[in-house]
Amino acid sequence: VQLQASGGGLVQAGGSLRLSCVASGYTYMINGMGWYRQTPGNERELVARLRDSGRMEIAESVKGRFTISRDNAEHTVDLQMNNLRVEDTAVYYCEAHSGPYADPRGRDFWGQGTLVTVSS
């Protein structure tokens, strides 16, 4: 599975950005897609993830501001980010999952990362 993300950039605090990601390759394996982010010196953290079952996970820090959506037929996942804050500045990574969750048999695929910079 290959993931191609787009949509990062520079925005002022309070502004909006939309990230998009499209999967290709063995897309039939995918049972969930989402977004993570990482800042220097910190571990990658979950922003939002949406499984095929409809179960959604979203970080408390972005609830009410970020919205995740998927198009299973097109194998895409988008992240609409509103009311951005300086602390949202990070490299955002698109993720696709196959196999069971929380299980060694599961596997995550990653996109190349797209930088989101929020200025004050």
Mean pLDDT (whole number) for 7-19: 97
Mean pLDDT (whole number) for 50-69: 96
Check whether 104 has a pLDDT greater than 90: no
Check whether 102 has a pLDDT greater than 90: no
- Tell me, what's the pLDDT at 10? 97
Instruction: Report DSSP letters for 34-90, one per residue.
Output: EEEEE-TTS--EEEEEEETTS-EEE-GGGTTTEEEEEETTTTEEEEEE-S--GGG-E
The token pair at 63 is 């609830």
pLDDT band, very low/low/confident/very high, at 72 (cuts 50, 70, 90): confident
Higher pLDDT, 100 or 20: 20
Mean pLDDT (whole number) for 80-87: 98
